[in-house]
Amino acid sequence: LILYSLPQKKNQLNIFTIDSKEGVITTTGKLDYENQSVYNITIVASDLGSPSLTSTAILKLTVTDIEDDIELSDKPVFKSRYYELEIEENVQTPVELVTLNLTEYYESFKMRYFILNDNDTDVKRNFVMDPKNSTLYLIKSPDREVRAVYEVIIRAERQKISREL
């Protein structure tokens, strides 16, 4: 078992955390290019052996500048707010239903897509969203007598770009 940590430096704001078991680094707040454009993050990996072995790596994180006056959440992500589809009963599955199109502003971003209907087990059972290409699939044929209408809510998030160490 290897445990990961980020050693604390005196008088330094702690804006990064690390999952001690997985080694995944996350931010605890927003990074501002104007305040600091580069971070050197020291990562310590230790085993539980006796004697314990330790290794250190430095992650150089470069912050990309984006326009501060553009609030991403103010811009629509998809070209259409609603998509309405009709599906026949007893259709062979899986079926590609629709690929959601991004607005021009978001086309250059790497995005991930999720179905948000966490409390609707029928939606989770019948539909799957490809997290990388925005395609919605029907994976179980619907039964109109059981349920005639489904509302599937999709969320798109900008994908955090990182490289594994």
CATH number of 72-158: 2.60.40.60
Domain ranges in the chain are 2-62, 72-158
Could you check whether the bond before residue 51 is cis, i.e. omega within 30 degrees of 0? Answer: yes
Alpha carbons 79 and 103: distance in angstroms, whole number = 5
* Domain 2-62: homologous superfamily in CATH: Cadherins (2.60.40.60)
* 139 — pLDDT class (breaks 50, 70, 90): very high
Which pLDDT does position 27 carry in this prediction?
87
Q: Name 92's Cβ contacts closer than 8 Å, sequence gap at least 6.
A: 141
- Are domains 2-62 and 72-158 of this chain identical in fold? yes
Q: 129: burial class by Cβ within 10 Å (0-12, 13-18, 19+)? A: buried
Q: pTM of the entire structure? A: 0.54
The pLDDT tens digits of the residues spanning 101-130 come to: 888 888 888 889 999 988 899 999 999 999
